[in-house]
């Protein structure tokens, strides 16, 4: 029996099986169930009071503890757990007369409390029942008490809110400083983290762009940050990455039909790489365009755009880059303008990067830009045209290619005839003929593919691009000339004021236009050469009716440049042109008197003297004498560099025209015996009518005493030119070289001129000491003397002005005193 009982005790009573799990979605609630719950809501009060948090609380098992000891462990935990303290703010303590205290396990006594409710749940009953006031021995408040308590709590909460708002509005200085420090540290930490992130992404892309191409999007996302410093770093980082990973070809995305075709993994990877690169590059350019007008980012944006145009002109979206650069090529900002002009110049010089296509596009855009702004742009806008290069042998290469094509065509026809004859003579079948024709077609396709893949330049395409470039360049140049003529005729008075206020006047593009015409004049079509010479003649000298107005509108440098360009065009097209250049000599003869040092460009004057007078060209004796006399007079009134250029020209003319050396004689009448005009007319506008042979070069005697030893030496050598020992001497120094040697930037008092030192002996007089025997004059000493003299003159004028003001003031005071005396006398007479 005992064994049976022990066996029964050892039997384990298994719990019943759990019902199958049913998901909430499978549970269906019928309408009858809903109606039943609504009708019996009073019976569900106990369900609503269940503590769901305690039920759903996760219970942790205690390891290595037996079941009997587990209950003791739970009891100890409950004893150690402190009971919740009653909250005094939201709970009211029960009166000690109405309820008994409660004793805890630790032996402490406390009275129960009840929570205050904000509003009654039923909202419709005004009287409280006994069940509402007493529940399980806990006293509840009445409705009026609850309202009073609610008002009190609201007042307390409102006061606390006011205090917190006041603290927020008026923070302490220490808190404000602490908040600023924390904010700065946070911003600096964020900046460093983003900077580090940009560096990591950039290094990863440069190390392996094929695998890490997705990082481009992350870098572009960082560029959209609100911090300007992060944006600038991101733009420069992306610029460096794009310069390195952009391929040497344009990317063409596959079409829909091509995407439907199954391809290998390598092709898919390459397509993904190209698509990501192109889309990110497009987003980068859009970001640059959006920041272009911002003053804070303008310099960095233009620098990025110009660098991309210079580095990858062959890649996609080149038209967008060119458009932005051309729009800013005449910007008032010097940095932006120089960057854009330098990018266009680099594009013209390095045509090997893009094959010349970008050059044609850039020239067309600049031509349209000049037309749109009516030629009112900065001179740097068309200055890059000077860096264009044109291959003059393209026509020769084209003829050679045509000759080779004809020769190859003849050989090909001959070969086909021989093959046809062999096919007719042979007894091959029709199928064999078909195979022969297939082989011929295959050879033709191979030859076409070879020509397409060949790296040899296409002469016809290059010639077409060069023709388009030349057409756009000369269209721009002729538009500028035409606009200048129209502006001079339409409003000469306005142009006079504009030319005096600004160095470029109302036609700022005229100077670079004339430079370009002088460089590319040999490429102009002969049909337009006559019109060009007429334009230059009218700009240099003007029409008969308005010559004075136009000469006042254009500056001396611009008129000199017109004369220089006319002579360059004539010399480069000597065989095709028959133009009378007498008007340009007349204009140069008058310009010499209008030249002012510092205001006008001395290099242009020296170049005009060299091209028009010194180059191998025979001049009329009257004209040569007129220029000799005027240049000698001109040397007395200008700086040392211009004087040296003029004297070099005078010496050259005297060496070429022996009869003009009569001007060096000091006899009565000078050189009038050799001339047809007996009287010298210094104010004549035509050099042939000036009668300069009737004058004497007395200016050389004054130039002997010039402060600059080089000028004095040159004047002495010209004066002694009639001596027999100096007739063989030929000058090797041009006016341009003389001007450069003695210019203000490279002024030297010891130039290397091969001039022989001679002593001039006049007839019937004692020999005078040459300038070479005089001691060298110290330039600093001369400057000090001149400065003291000018300061003295200025002080004298200032004293005179002050004396005049003093005299006027004293006279006014005297008159006022006289007026007072007269007034007193009149008063005395009235009183008497």
pLDDT of residue 137: 41
- Report the percentage of the chain scoring pLDDT > 90: 16
Per-residue pLDDT, averaged over 418-446, amounts to 61
Query: 533 vs 91, which has greater pLDDT?
Result: 533
Lowest-pLDDT range, 185-189, 398-402, 656-660? 398-402
Q: What residues make up the domain containing 631?
A: 618-790
Strand partners, 91: 115
Q: Please state, in angstroms and as integers, the Cα–Cα distance from residue 211 to each residue in 204, 207, 208, 571, following that order.
A: 9, 9, 6, 63
pLDDT digits (tens, 9 = 90+) for 777-815: 667 777 777 777 777 777 788 888 888 888 888 888 888
Query: 638 vs 94, which has greater pLDDT?
Result: 638
Strand partners, 774: none
pLDDT of residue 763: 42
Collapse the DSSP code of 322 into the 3-class scheme (helix H, G, I; strand E, B; otherwise coil) and give the result. helix
Residue 703 lies in a domain: yes
Query: 310 vs 679, which has greater pLDDT?
Result: 310
DSSP 89-103: TTEEEPPTTTS--EE
Per-residue pLDDT, averaged over 142-153, amounts to 78
pLDDT band at 391 (very low <50, low <70, confident <90, very high): confident
Per-residue pLDDT, averaged over 217-222, amounts to 90
Lowest-pLDDT range, 295-299, 495-499, 538-542? 495-499
CA proximity to 289, closest of 319, 312, 315: 319
Collapse the DSSP code of 366 into the 3-class scheme (helix H, G, I; strand E, B; otherwise coil) and give the result. helix
pLDDT band at 729 (very low <50, low <70, confident <90, very high): very low
Query: 311 vs 55, which has greater pLDDT?
Result: 311
Highest mean pLDDT among 144-148, 226-230, 340-344, 737-741: 340-344
Cβ-based neighbours of 358, under 8 Å, separated by 6 or more: 313, 314, 318, 322, 347, 351
pLDDT of residue 458: 66
Query: Residue 322 region, left (φ>0) first, then alpha (ψ -120 to 50), else beta?
Result: alpha
- pLDDT above 60: residue 116: no
pLDDT digits (tens, 9 = 90+) for 310-320: 999 999 899 99
pLDDT band at 360 (very low <50, low <70, confident <90, very high): very high
- pLDDT above 90: residue 308: yes
Strand partners, 102: 110
pLDDT band at 282 (very low <50, low <70, confident <90, very high): very high
- pLDDT above 60: residue 768: no
Per-residue pLDDT, averaged over 666-691, amounts to 66
- pLDDT above 70: residue 731: no
Residue 273 lies in a domain: yes
pLDDT of residue 816: 87
Residue 238 lies in a domain: yes
- pLDDT above 80: residue 64: no
Query: 2 vs 71, which has greater pLDDT?
Result: 71
Residues 377, 327 contacting (CB under 8 angstroms): no
Give the separation between CA 73 and CA 70, rounded to whole angstroms: 5
pLDDT band at 675 (very low <50, low <70, confident <90, very high): very low
Per-residue pLDDT, averaged over 463-484, amounts to 90
- pLDDT above 90: residue 284: yes
pLDDT of residue 236: 92
Q: How many residues does the chain have?
A: 832
Tokens at residue 354, please? 């893009």
- pLDDT above 60: residue 398: no
Query: 526 vs 194, which has greater pLDDT?
Result: 194
Lowest-pLDDT range, 126-130, 226-230, 438-442, 565-569? 126-130
CA proximity to 657, closest of 629, 686, 689: 629
What is the separation of C-alpha 533 from the centre of its chain, rounded to a whole number of angstroms? Answer: 37
Residue 704 lies in a domain: yes
Residue 25 lies in a domain: no
Per-residue pLDDT, averaged over 680-700, amounts to 84
Residues 587, 559 contacting (CB under 8 angstroms): yes
pLDDT band at 707 (very low <50, low <70, confident <90, very high): confident
Beta strand pairing call for 109-110 and 91-93: unpaired
Report residue 134: phi and psi, to 5°.
-125, 125
pLDDT of residue 808: 87
pLDDT of residue 603: 87
pLDDT digits (tens, 9 = 90+) for 489-535: 765 444 444 443 344 457 888 989 998 988 888 888 777 787 888 88
pLDDT of residue 40: 79
- pLDDT above 80: residue 94: no
Dihedral, 394, 396, 398, 403 alpha carbons, nearest 10:
-170
Query: 554 vs 66, which has greater pLDDT?
Result: 554
Task: Provide the mean pLDDT of the chain.
Answer: 75
Kind plus residue range of the DSSP H or E element containing 83: none
Tokens at residue 492, please? 């000469």
pLDDT of residue 766: 40
Cβ-based neighbours of 304, under 8 Å, separated by 6 or more: 235, 236, 239, 288
Q: How many domains does the chain have?
A: 2
CA proximity to 628, closest of 705, 680, 704: 680
Tokens at residue 808, please? 């006027």
Residue 37 lies in a domain: no
pLDDT of residue 647: 92
pLDDT of residue 734: 84
Query: 299 vs 783, which has greater pLDDT?
Result: 299
Lowest-pLDDT range, 602-606, 652-656, 667-671? 667-671
Residue 446 lies in a domain: no
pLDDT of residue 163: 63
- pLDDT above 90: residue 365: yes
- pLDDT above 80: residue 76: no
Residue 705 lies in a domain: yes
- pLDDT above 90: residue 344: yes
Strand partners, 115: 91
- pLDDT above 80: residue 327: yes
Per-residue pLDDT, averaged over 192-209, amounts to 89
């Amino acid at each position: 029996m005992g064994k049976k009982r022990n066996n029964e005790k050892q039997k384990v009573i298994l719990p019943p099986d759990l019902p199958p799990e049913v998901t909430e979605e499978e549970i269906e609630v019928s309408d009858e169930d809903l109606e039943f719950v609504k009708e019996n809501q009073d019976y569900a009060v106990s369900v609503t009071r269940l503590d769901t948090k305690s039920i759903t609380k996760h219970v942790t098992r205690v390891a290595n503890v037996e079941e009997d000891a587990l209950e003791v462990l739970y009891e100890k935990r409950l004893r150690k757990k402190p009971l919740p303290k009653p909250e005094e703010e939201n709970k009211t303590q029960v009166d000690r007369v109405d309820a008994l205290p409660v004793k805890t396990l630790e032996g402490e006594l406390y009275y129960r409390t009840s929570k205050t409710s904000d509003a009654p749940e039923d909202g419709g009953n005004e009287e409280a029942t006994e069940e509402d006031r007493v529940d399980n021995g806990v006293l509840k408040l009445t409705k009026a008490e609850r309202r009073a308590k609610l008002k009190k709590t609201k007042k307390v909460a409102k006061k606390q809110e006011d205090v917190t708002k006041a603290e927020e509005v008026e923070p302490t200085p220490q808190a404000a400083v602490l908040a600023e420090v924390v904010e700065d540290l946070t911003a600096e930490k964020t900046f460093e983290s983003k900077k580090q992130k940009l560096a990591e992404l950039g290094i990863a892309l440069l190390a392996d762009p094929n695998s890490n191409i997705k990082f481009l999007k992350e870098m572009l996302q960082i560029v959209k940050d609100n911090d300007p410093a992060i944006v600038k770093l991101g733009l420069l980082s992306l610029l460096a990455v794009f310069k390195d990973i952009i391929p040497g070809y344009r990317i063409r995305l596959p079409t829909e039909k091509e995407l439907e075709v199954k391809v290998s993994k390598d092709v898919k990877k390459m397509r993904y790489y190209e698509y990501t690169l192109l889309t990110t590059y497009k987003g980068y350019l859009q970001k640059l365009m959006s920041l272009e007008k911002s003053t804070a980012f303008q310099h960095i944006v233009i620098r990025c755009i110009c660098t991309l145009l210079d580095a990858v002109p062959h890649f996609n979206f080149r038209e967008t880059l060119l458009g932005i650069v051309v729009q800013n090529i005449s910007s008032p900002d010097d940095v932006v303008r120089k960057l854009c002009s330098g990018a266009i110049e680099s594009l013209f010089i390095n045509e090997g990067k893009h094959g010349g296509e970008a050059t044609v596009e850039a020239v067309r855009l600049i031509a349209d830009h000049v037309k749109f702004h009516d030629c009112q742009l900065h001179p740097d806008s068309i200055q890059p045209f000077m860096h264009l290069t044109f291959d003059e042998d393209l026509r020769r290469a084209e003829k050679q290619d045509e000759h080779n094509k004809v020769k190859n065509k003849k050989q090909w026809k001959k070969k086909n005839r021989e093959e046809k004859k062999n096919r007719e003579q042979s007894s091959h079948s029709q199928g064999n003929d078909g195979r022969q024709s297939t082989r011929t077609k295959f050879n033709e396709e191979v030859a076409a593919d070879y020509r397409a893949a060949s790296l040899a330049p296409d002469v016809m395409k290059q010639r077409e691009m060069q023709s388009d470039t030349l057409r756009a360049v000369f269209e721009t140049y002729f538009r500028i000339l035409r606009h200048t003529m129209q502006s001079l005729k339409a409003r000469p008075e306005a142009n006079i004021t504009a030319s005096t206020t600004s160095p470029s006047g109302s036609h700022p593009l005229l100077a670079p236009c004339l430079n370009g015409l002088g460089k590319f004049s040999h490429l102009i079509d002969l049909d337009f050469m006559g019109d060009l010479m007429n334009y230059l003649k009218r700009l240099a000298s003007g029409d008969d009716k308005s010559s004075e107005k136009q000469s006042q509108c254009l500056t001396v440098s611009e008129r000199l440049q017109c004369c220089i360009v006319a002579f360059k065009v004539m010399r480069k097209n000597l065989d095709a042109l028959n133009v009378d250049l007498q008007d340009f000599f007349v204009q140069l003869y008058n310009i010499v008197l209008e030249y002012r040092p510092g205001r006008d460009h001395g290099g242009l004057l020296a170049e005009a003297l060299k091209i028009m007078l010194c180059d191998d060209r025979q001049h009329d004796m009257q004209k040569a004498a007129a220029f000799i006399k005027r240049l000698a007079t001109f040397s007395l009134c200008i700086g040392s560099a211009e004087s040296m250029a003029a004297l070099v020209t005078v010496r050259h003319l005297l060496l070429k025209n022996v009869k003009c050396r009569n001007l060096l004689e000091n006899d009565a009448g000078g050189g009038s015996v050799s001339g047809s005009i007996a009287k010298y007319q210094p104010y004549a506008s035509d050099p042939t009518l000036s009668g300069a042979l009737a004058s004497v070069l007395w200016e050389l005697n004054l130039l002997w005493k010039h402060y600059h030893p080089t000028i004095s030496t040159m004047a002495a050598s010209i004066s002694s030119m009639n001596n027999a020992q100096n007739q063989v001497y030929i000058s090797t120094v041009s006016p341009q070289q003389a001007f450069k040697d003695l210019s203000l930037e490279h002024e030297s008092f010891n130039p290397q001129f091969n001039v022989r030192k001679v002593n001039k002996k006049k007839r019937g007089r004692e020999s005078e000491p040459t300038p070479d025997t005089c001691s060298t004059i110290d330039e600093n000493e001369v400057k000090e003397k001149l400065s003291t003299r000018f300061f003295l003159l200025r002080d004298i004028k200032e004293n005179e002005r002050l004396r005049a003001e003093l005299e006027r003031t004293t006279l006014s005071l005297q008159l006022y005193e006289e007026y007072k005396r007269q007034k007193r006398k009149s008063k005395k007479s009235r009183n008497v």
